[in-house]
Structure 1
């Protein structure tokens, strides 16, 4: 039932057809996205591409280690599957791979209970209803007081890239920061990048970086100038993007496991959307390598 295919063995015409027609489809399962984000990836296939599961990995000391690449939130199983078929994938996956971490998509359900991570999403709806009924009281007030800011779409010009380089937090390695900028250029070339900035007296206070899919925006980065944070540009930007787009595009905050960030996302009326993950320690990996070998 389950076949394990190397990258060279994948029938990408069938793969693309499977994911395009799947209800679990997301941005990350696109071949082009996987090719860019992953050093290596292969595929588990159920029957004749009825369902598929991309597996990103790195090679360490002659072993393949499954690890989610940077900037990739959810993969998992795509196609004509149910809980029973998902369980078959899961059992095969755990038996045949050394898994450091792997994230399934939020539509994947299993008989086995797994760890979960939090994501927050605002579905398509009327903006007036969202702001009136679902915004937290404090967020309404913060957004109202920030209306003097100027809202602009921005692009990958030198001064914008310098702002990102100087203010981006969360990536300690210089190589990761460089890869992030490369990812922006990849998204731009693929017509998947949207960036918006807030300005105070011609000074850039904040930038939102979004991936633009046909039916949703996903938050890739929210960059703040700490010297101008008292202007509440982050709240202003998110609100203005919702005002202009939420009646046609959902908004995916792409995370929320840190308490303060979770509260920020929820304050815009976002709904909790959990997805299941496998996480192991390096010690677990070593023991599993010995078992599989």
Structure 2
């Protein structure tokens, strides 16, 4: 039987054990991660935490809805031997109080019998030696790494998250116009992960020892996730980001099984990540629309359950 639980009713210890031991174990679904990115989250729980699904909600104009929180690429249903029938069973048990939902499930929640949109993640299985992996790099990736070495780019490993956030904010972030909430939540999340021993930053320094690019990596349960990055114009000119990725991949080889680029549905970013020999993994985007007319028409068709 599936139960709907409010946040204060969830046994976080049992929850985390289920997520950590699930067929698709990802840090985004751990209770302490959700507490930062989606405080007050609720859940669907099968039996004694055999299978679980986080629900992140808000309300607008008196209508409750479910949404995908920041810094959670994939959520959905977690447990053992999750099949399509189980995923649909959970989706059908979402309480009726939630009239609308837009959610990203995970790569083990594929709905092949249903007309849903699949999004793309890119991962790199880490096996063999670094030279074997480098053979799968594109010509452009190899060229950029050489360019960075010729420019005397060096690596700094530590925790430079605020500098990396500023690099992003002043460069790519300037056109994306992210909210202050985005940056505040990212900083809070990064420091929490660092406190728990799961986060490290890797920064590229130029010849003047200035940080020109940086990447925040989460290491959790045999998976290294590229959660966030920032770079300035100089870094783009001298291949600093390619240099960083190569250094991180080299370090993680033998220490973890998967390097997760965490994206991307942006064609340019996807091309960049694939240039390091990554492979595509799909995960479903699900919309459930039970809004009253005319709002239902404005939001688009939902999954018919």
TM-score by length of 1: 0.88
Write out aligned runs for 1:234-249 (5 A): 234-249=241-256
The separation in 2 between residues aligned to 1:88 and 1:157, in whole angstroms, is: 40
Given the superposition, is the C-alpha separation of residues 219 and 40 from structure 1 closer, same or farther in structure 2, using an over 3 Å criterion?
A: same
What's 2:159 paired with?
Answer: 155
What's 1:200 paired with?
Answer: 206
Asked if residue 191 in structure 1 is aligned to residue 197 in structure 2, the reply is yes
**More displaced stretch, 94-103 vs 30-39:** 94-103
Asked if residue 287 in structure 1 is aligned to residue 296 in structure 2, the reply is yes
Paired residues, number: 287
**More displaced stretch, 52-61 vs 159-168:** 159-168
Write out aligned runs for 1:204-219 (5 A): 204-219=211-226
What's 1:291 paired with?
Answer: none
Contact 2:161/2:190, CA 8 A, preserved across alignment: no
The separation in 1 between residues aligned to 2:214 and 2:37, in whole angstroms, is: 23
What's 2:282 paired with?
Answer: 274
What's 1:102 paired with?
Answer: 103
Write out aligned runs for 1:70-109 (5 A): 70-80=70-80, 81-93=82-94, 97-109=98-110
SS in structure 2 opposite 1:39?
Answer: coil
SS in structure 1 opposite 2:57?
Answer: strand
Given the superposition, is the C-alpha separation of residues 273 and 160 from structure 1 closer, same or farther in structure 2, using an over 3 Å criterion?
A: closer
Write out aligned runs for 1:8-87 (5 A): 8-80=8-80, 81-87=82-88
SS in structure 1 opposite 2:65?
Answer: strand
Asked if residue 142 in structure 1 is aligned to residue 149 in structure 2, the reply is no
Given the superposition, is the C-alpha separation of residues 109 and 96 from structure 1 closer, same or farther in structure 2, using an over 3 Å criterion?
A: farther
What's 1:254 paired with?
Answer: 262
Q: Give a deviation string over 1:83-141, Cα, whole Å, max 9, x none.
A: 22222112333966333421111111334232111100001212211111x11122112
From 124, 131, 136, the counterpart of 2:134: 131
Q: CA deviation at 1:229?
A: 2.3
SS in structure 1 opposite 2:93?
Answer: helix
Q: Give a deviation string over 1:247-272, Cα, whole Å, max 9, x none.
A: 32221011111111110000000010
Given the superposition, is the C-alpha separation of residues 244 and 285 from structure 1 closer, same or farther in structure 2, using an over 3 Å criterion?
A: farther
The separation in 1 between residues aligned to 2:206 and 2:250, in whole angstroms, is: 20
Q: CA deviation at 1:25?
A: 1.6
Contact 1:152/1:196, CA 8 A, preserved across alignment: yes
From 116, 120, 123, the counterpart of 1:121: 123
TM-score by length of 2: 0.85
The separation in 1 between residues aligned to 2:100 and 2:242, in whole angstroms, is: 38
Given the superposition, is the C-alpha separation of residues 94 and 273 from structure 1 closer, same or farther in structure 2, using an over 3 Å criterion?
A: farther
Q: Give a deviation string over 1:197-228, Cα, whole Å, max 9, x none.
A: 11111122211111121412111122111144
Asked if residue 177 in structure 1 is aligned to residue 183 in structure 2, the reply is yes
SS in structure 1 opposite 2:118?
Answer: strand
**More displaced stretch, 278-287 vs 178-187:** 278-287
The separation in 1 between residues aligned to 2:143 and 2:254, in whole angstroms, is: 22
**More displaced stretch, 119-128 vs 80-89:** 80-89
Q: CA deviation at 1:64?
A: 2.0
The separation in 1 between residues aligned to 2:62 and 2:253, in whole angstroms, is: 48
RMSD: 2.5
